[in-house]
A and B are shown apart, each in its own frame.
Chain A
Amino acid sequence: MSTLDTIVQLIYLAAAACFVLGLHQMNSPATARNGNRLSAAGMATAIIGTVVLIAAGDMGTVNVSAWVIIAAGVVVGGGLGLYTARTVQMTAMPQLVSVFNAVGGGAAALIAIDDYIRLSGAAGVPIPLEISIPTVLDVIIGSITFTGSVIAAGKLQGLIGGQPIILPGSRLVTAALAAVAVVGALFLFVGNISLPVFALILLAGLLFGVTMVLPIGGADMPVVISLLNSFTGTAVAMAGFVLSDPVLIIAGALVGASGAILTKLMADAMNRSVLNIMVGGFGTGDAATGAATGGPGGSVREIGADDAAIQLAYAQHVIIVPGYGLAVAQAQHGVRELAELLEARGVDVKYAIHPVAGRMPGHMNVLLAEANVPYPQLKEMDEINPEFERADVALVVGANDVTNPAARSNTASPIYGMPILDVDKAHSIIVIKRSMRPGYAGIDNELYLNPKTGMLFADAKDGLAQLVAAVKAV
């Protein structure tokens, strides 16, 4: 090991430490930004170290073409990343994260592909198991991540229908693809070297990513993206084994673990198992039960924007419950405007943030922060739930299942046990909702039949605009 190589290895170690410490600092809003910058600094150091190593000829003589490839790749990819990251609307941010995840997984898969082509080209040289295992795992996981994340991004962007797409026999196809990948992998592990089989595995992985994500509903995409993020980390760690590069192994494993934890936390907040989400089909069997229990409950009371505005304007404590519908309608600025109007009238306004409100955990905080809602007004579920009893009005904007009292009371309900916001305890409730269509879980919400509840049927953005106009007129 040359001196330079040793130095660069130490730089990699420092970079890995930066990643760990950076993630640690993301524990708290106060230090999170520094944490991300520390992690970015580690990344920059590692990349510059690699460039120095290449330039010094430590990896053998370097062609001009290699420099051209690296420079052009960094300029094209980096430029595209910079541009999209700078210009993306914050509401569209989840799908952008998904795209970045897709390309990361794609890059990891390409490393395995390139490596396997080179290894299989050296005729007669056996590929040791310690190389073939990570190579094959890298290409499988990386290709699944690539297409899976692209499909997830497409669903969030609305390019592909957000509804679960279940083609006839798709489960069978998914299972068959998995079988192809597993059998192909075993075939290569036992000592065979075959580029066609490797290509078949790659193809199976790519198709598997598509068939895995297509049947999953749009509301579950956060969990899926988190899972795929974890996959990419694992794929990158595998690429680290392929290239014997510890920094890839450390960073990949870190992300693999973090994504796994996050995925579980998100699924827990929805009272669902990750397996349940991945298998899909939520609401197919349970919807009937939900509809049956919700059916004869009572009647829905509709409320006009003017009446709702009067209730809000003369209230003392108002709790706003923003949800998925607010994110979809990009109504975060409207909600802030309404809140400021109410505050100007002396109304105390707080926001109740369910852990999975929005399109990703914490997404609602980001959206509201973007709309300049003061951070201290955002209250987490455990903190705000006792306050609903004292609230004069709870204004529910585009949230549904996370407010359904059935989760507390109805053991037959598919969402029974899911932590919810106790909106039904407020003195009066206003719900802005486009229609009586059930939420993602496919069940009726008893909250809407509550005599205290007034339904304002409108798109979140329009409904808030109506309320703002009406409050101004009060």
Chain B
Amino acid sequence: MSPAVLSALTIFVLAILVGFEVISKVPATLHTPLMSGANSIHGIVLVGAMVIAVEANDPLSQVLSFVAVAFAAMNVVGGYVVTDRMLQMFRKRPAAPAPAADEPKA
């Protein structure tokens, strides 16, 4: 196993552990936004899709990388926007029935 692979594996395992720790403290209320937020983070695959697009030099590869870039971009943009929309609704509202102050809603 080359040093590069070994360090990649180290990063992988440590990142998994970090993921467990970070997530296990989230209250149930936020699970749906959290799922959506985590869903956007794996949109980082866009970076990989761009890399294969650069290396593509035959039609098949170009088609594959185009679809990959489009898929990944949809994942990133849509994921963050929809998560933000969800979280926008969690703002604390005044308990009194005066919902005037905070309402420039999209």
Interface residue ranges, A against B (CB under 8 Å):
15-16, 19-20, 22-24, 26-30, 32-33, 35-37, 39-40, 43, 46-47, 50-51, 54, 59-60, 62-63, 65-66, 69-70, 72-74, 76-82, 84-86, 88, 90, 93-94, 96-97, 99-101, 103-104, 106-108, 110-111, 113-115, 117-118, 130, 225-226, 229, 232-233, 236-237, 239-262, 265-266, 269, 340, 343, 353, 355, 358, 360-363, 365-366, 369-370, 372, 374-378, 380
Contact = CB atoms under 8 A, between A and B. Distances in A.
5 contacts: A36-B84, A59-B55, A111-B68, A114-B64, A262-B31
A246 to B, nearest CB: 5
A100 B82 contact: yes
A29 B78 contact: no
Contacts of B45: 104, 107-108, 111, 236, 239, 248, 252
B30 A362 contact: yes
Contacts of A257: 15-20, 23
Contact of A82 (B24, B37, B81): B81
B82 A29 contact: no
Contact of B39 (A62, A118, A255): A255
B18 A229 contact: no
A246 B44 CA distance: 11
Nearest to A110: B68
Interface of B: 1-2, 4-5, 8, 11-13, 15-20, 22-57, 60-62, 64-95, 97, 99, 106
Contacts of A59: 51, 54-55
Contacts of B13: 253
Given A74-B69, A115-B52, A366-B86, A254 B80 contact: no
Q: Which of B20, B32, B61 is packed against the most chain A CB atoms within 10 Å?
A: B32
Contacts of A245: 47-48, 51
A77 B44 contact: no
B68 to A, nearest CB: 4
Nearest to B72: A107
A18 B31 CA distance: 19
A180 to B, nearest CB: 23
A326 to B, nearest CB: 15
B93 A26 contact: no
A78 B73 contact: yes
A36 to B, nearest CB: 5
Contacts of A111: 45, 48-49, 52, 68
Contacts of B84: 33, 36-37, 40
Contact of B12 (A65, A249, A372): A249
Contacts of A225: 35
B45 to A, nearest CB: 5
A54 B53 CA distance: 10
B16 A27 contact: no
Given A36-B83, A90-B86, 16 more contacts: A69-B56, A73-B65, A73-B72, A79-B77, A100-B40, A104-B72, A107-B69, A108-B48, A114-B56, A246-B11, A249-B8, A250-B11, A253-B19, A262-B35, A375-B91, A375-B93
